[in-house]
Amino acid sequence: MFRHVFVHNDEYAAVIFDDGEIDLEKAKISVHQLYVLVVFYVVVSAIIIAFGVENKQDAWMTALTGMLGGIVLFLMNYTIYSYYPGHTFGQIIERIIGKPLGKVVTVMYVIYFLYIAAFVLRDFGELVRVFAYPRTPMLLISSFMLIAILYTVYKGIEVIARTGEIFFTIISILGVIGLTLLLSSGNADIHNLMPVLERGWMPIIFSSYHSTVFPFGELIAFMMLYPYLESQKHTKRAVITGIFFGGVVISLVTMLNIAILGVDLFTRTQYPLLTTFQLVEGKAFLERMDSLFMVTSVLGGFFRISILFYATLMCATTAFSVPNYRTLVLPLGVVLLYCSVNLAGSYTEFIVNGMYAFTYYIQLPMQIIIPLLLLIVGWFRTRRKGNPT
């Protein structure tokens, strides 16, 4: 029976049950590390695909509207967390709507986070195969990447955060060098971005839902990280700053892709930024810049999948009352690999399933409807009973 008691000090974090303890993890992460992980999560997948392609030369504005929507969703999620601070998302769900129904909803989030992790793993597997290993089986490519992810997640969120902090500096330097070289190559044509708002604001507004749920809305996975923060004082500032920075980077990269590739090629290419690097290589003094792109993308994808898989494990720990999340790393890792390889038979089917069907039929309830209901019910419960911590 759940006793709703939370112990949190410098070395230990646990939720107490009548029949024992569930050890969440002895870990602490800093606010800066949280900011780094937010930026990694938001930027990476969004810059490798044709983000906002439906808006053609105005695609760069799509990232900005999505950024604003992402901030709104974060504030909603953080308000839910503030009802029961120090608890993971699964525990908060059970406290708001009760244990029986709460476990059902938490299992839904286990499946949800696992599916996104599988989708991202497949996405980066496709990218690596297109770039360098066209004849290598997807199973082999995904397995190598997943082994590193499983090891890191097993070591804990503190290791993920510290590793992210180290690589963030490296990737930031590589990113600045790459963008500087692209701008200095002389291939960018500002006229490709014209005319601005040719069809008005309505297409931008209509596409804002899609640009909000991906990638900004998926930050709901960070509900699993908030209990491990050294200080809750600057959490809002860190996440909002990360979302803002990520949105600006996506917008600038999209603008650069359009300026170099032109609208037609931008809307048709599978990976616009990769194509941009390859096109510039053929016309300028730059060589092997696509390798720079690949290193940055794979590292970023590594952190994105790690966070999603960690969120999966923490939800599963709560849903199934498992004493230690590490016991689930291997079995759920195998499930993740299987789902990733078998998501679709072809890349086209993969995109249709992931970018359209999943966006409208799964993302909507999991990112907006259920959290909104939790926000409302939680507000009434905490006002009626006080705000227990």
Instruction: Look up the pTM and report it.
Output: 0.89
- pLDDT at position 1, please? 37
Residue listed under structure tokens 């939800």: 315
CA distance 87 to 349: 38
Coil, helix or strand for 28? coil
Mean pLDDT, the chain, integer? 84
In the predicted model, residues of the chain with pLDDT beneath 50 are 1-21, 388-389
Residue 314 contacts residue 224 (beta carbons within 8 Å): yes
Coil, helix or strand for 132? coil
Give the rounded percent of residues in the chain with a pLDDT score beyond 90.
Answer: 45
- pLDDT at position 285, please? 53
The type of residue at 373 is L
CA distance 344 to 315: 26
By 3-state DSSP, what share of the chain in percent is helix, strand and coil, each rounded to 5? Answer: 75, 5, 20
- pLDDT at position 11, please? 36
β-partners of residue 23 are 14, 324
- pLDDT at position 172, please? 86
The type of residue at 311 is A
- pLDDT at position 84, please? 92
- pLDDT at position 200, please? 79
- pLDDT at position 367, please? 94
- pLDDT at position 47, please? 76
CA distance 327 to 210: 36
List the end-to-end C-alpha distance of the chain, in Å, as a whole number. Answer: 18
DSSP code per residue over 177-198: HHHHHHHHTT---GGGG-STTT
